[in-house]
Amino acid sequence: MRRTSSTFGKCRRPVPGDHKQISLQEFLFYRMDDPLEFPDGPVVKTLRSRHKGPVEDGVKTINCGPFLRKTGLSWIVTCQYLWCVKDICGIICCVFTWMLILYAEYVVLYVMLWHNPYTTWSFINAVIFQFFAFMAISSHMKTMWSDPGSVPKGNATREHILRMGLRAGQVVFKCPKCVSIKPERAHHCSVCQRCIKKMDHHCPWVNNCVGENNQKFFVLFTMYICLISFHSLYMSVYHFITCVGKEWKLCSGFSPPATTVFLIFLIFEGLLFGIFTAIMCGTQLTAICSDETGIENLKKDSGEFEKRSYWLSLKSVFGHPFSWRWFSPFSNPKFTNNASYHCV
């Protein structure tokens, strides 16, 4: 590649595929380069964009490998990099999600179960609730801090395209916003400012895109939030009926007005988020079984790829074979390296 200005004399060329941040200087270098033309080779077409000039990266990757090795947690947390989207709205939504879960924890454990005379019933429901809450928070963090399947930024270089081994006349598409060769079924996220493989949508509740690499964790997050919502709803209604039929002092350490307010807010929270996450979980499972992302459904873009059966689609998201690991946010599915590039 020929540099167009001496300004880039000390510009370091990052290796395509690494997780290092690309500076604005390097980004301008890729944009100002000559058109990618290959005689008797592939044809690179740049997609149209209304955006003029380079776009800032909306993601910050944090290398936590040294910390994990120093604390001895590397065997628990396998991911060496944390994927953090720099979106204030998404961060607020994530904090609000944690606050809602903590509120449910407080009401269930201290308002309802702590003073309940039925110790066996209280213990069983406390264990079930804690399990669902722990799995929900773990799935949420895994979805938020996992790379959803980003295309390496700035990999639209002559060397990288030649290494792809494309046939003569084959057309590949270049994203003008993140200067990347766009794989098939990948879409550019306006929040992350990255192309995401098999992108379904960008969810502010997890402050991340839902894509090829973290869709499993998002489904688990919605499933466990749905379970914890309806479980807390059941306990709230049962507790309210029990307290009305008996003395309030026997079922709660709080005053009747305070207990009533706590229960009403928890019932409202359980109904609202239980129904919402049930719909989201069902929508995601339907999209997985039909092998069609949310963006493809909205655009009515079936593409030229061959759709897989519902069982193969499920295994591609949750891993193979079917086991308890499908329901664990700590188990990363084994993906097959079958990503093809958007070509004709």
* Residue 159 confidence (pLDDT) above 80: no
- Residue 304: the pLDDT is 64
Give the integer Cα–Cα distance in Å for 112 and 252.
6
Give the integer Cα–Cα distance in Å for 143 and 198.
15
- Compare 166 and 221 and report the one with higher pLDDT: 221
* Residue 77 confidence (pLDDT) above 90: no
Longest dimension (CA), the chain: 86
- Compare 39 and 172 and report the one with higher pLDDT: 172
- Residue 231: the pLDDT is 96
Query: Which whole number is the average pLDDT over 299-307?
Result: 70
**Helix (H) or strand (E) segment spanning residue 82:** strand 81-85
List the catalytic residue out of 203, 226, 243, 343: 203
Is the preceding omega at residue 39 within 30 degrees of 0, hence cis?
Answer: no
Instruction: Let me know if 93 is a catalytic residue.
Output: no
- Residue 91: the pLDDT is 95
Confidence of residue 300 (pLDDT cuts 50, 70, 90): confident
Question: Which residues, including other chains, have CB under 8 Å from residue 8's CB and lie 6 or more apart?
Answer: 25, 28, 29
Give the integer Cα–Cα distance in Å for 196 and 194.
6
* Residue 182 confidence (pLDDT) above 70: yes
* Residue 144 confidence (pLDDT) above 80: yes
* Residue 5 confidence (pLDDT) above 90: no
- Residue 309: the pLDDT is 85
Residue keyed to tokens 């040294």: 66
- Residue 49: the pLDDT is 58
- Quickly list H helices, the chain: 24-31, 65-71, 88-106, 119-145, 158-163, 215-245, 256-289, 294-299, 310-318
| Phi-psi label, residue 72: left if phi above 0, alpha if psi -120 to 50, beta otherwise | left
Ranked by mean pLDDT, the top range of 1-15, 28-42, 274-288 is 274-288
* Residue 189 confidence (pLDDT) above 80: yes
* Residue 133 confidence (pLDDT) above 50: yes
If DSSP codes are grouped into helix, strand and coil, which group holds residue 22?
coil
* Residue 36 confidence (pLDDT) above 90: no
Query: Which whole number is the average pLDDT over 138-164?
Result: 84
The total of other beta-carbon atoms located within 10 Å of residue 301's CB is: 12
Confidence of residue 1 (pLDDT cuts 50, 70, 90): very low
Give the integer Cα–Cα distance in Å for 113 and 107.
9
Residue count (the chain): 344
Query: Which whole number is the average pLDDT over 132-160?
Result: 88
Average predicted confidence (pLDDT) for the chain: 78
- Residue 319: the pLDDT is 87
Q: Which among 270, 330, 332 is positioned nearest to 134, based on CA atoms?
A: 330
- Residue 35: the pLDDT is 59
Give the integer Cα–Cα distance in Å for 315 and 324.
13
Query: Which whole number is the average pLDDT over 303-328?
Result: 85
- Residue 55: the pLDDT is 59
Confidence of residue 332 (pLDDT cuts 50, 70, 90): confident
Give the integer Cα–Cα distance in Å for 267 and 103.
12
The total of other beta-carbon atoms located within 10 Å of residue 139's CB is: 26
- Residue 138: the pLDDT is 94
Confidence of residue 171 (pLDDT cuts 50, 70, 90): confident
* Residue 80 confidence (pLDDT) above 80: no
Give the integer Cα–Cα distance in Å for 81 and 62.
5
- Compare 32 and 266 and report the one with higher pLDDT: 266
Q: Which among 253, 267, 255, 342 is positioned nearest to 301, based on CA atoms?
A: 342
- Residue 19: the pLDDT is 42
* Residue 339 confidence (pLDDT) above 50: no
* Residue 340 confidence (pLDDT) above 70: no
Residue keyed to tokens 């607020």: 92
**Do the Cβ atoms of 181 and 174 come closer than 8 Å?**
yes
* Residue 129 confidence (pLDDT) above 90: yes
* Residue 212 confidence (pLDDT) above 60: yes
Q: Which among 146, 207, 95 is positioned nearest to 330, based on CA atoms?
A: 146
- Residue 303: the pLDDT is 62
**Do the Cβ atoms of 294 and 278 come closer than 8 Å?**
no
Query: Which whole number is the average pLDDT over 76-99?
Result: 86
Give the integer Cα–Cα distance in Å for 227 and 301.
33
